Amino acid sequence: MRITTKGQVTIPAEIREKAGLLPNTEVDFAYDGKGSVRLFRAKRPKAKTRGEKLVEKLIEAGRKYPRKMTTDEIMALTRGED
């Protein structure tokens, strides 16, 4: 197996399957200082869903405009029309 000029290497299918590494899986590398490199699944925070982002935006709007809002005003905020 060779590393390409771009630093890429293909992980054999059997190893990917055993490790559960699917396409678009985030991975990290660790060097042990003795010449070995370890590949492992990255522990990154899960990306927020569209719904979670919407709720955050509404909470921020509630803090920014501390008053009662009409349904139309709330819908305009969810569409980014503020």
Global model pTM greater than 0.85: no
User: Is residue 39 located within the same domain as residue 61?
Assistant: no
Task: Find out whether 74 and 68 touch, Cβ atoms under 8 Å.
Answer: no
Total domains, the chain: 2
Say whether both 75 and 37 belong to one domain. no
Q: Which tens digits make up the pLDDT trace of 19-59?
A: 989 988 889 999 999 999 999 888 877 778 899 899 998 88
Mean pLDDT of the chain: 88
In angstroms, the Cα distances linking 48 to 14, 36, 44, 53 are 32, 35, 12, 6
Question: Within this chain, do residues 54 and 80 fall inside the same structural domain, yes or no?
Answer: yes
Query: Domain residues for 75?
Result: 45-82
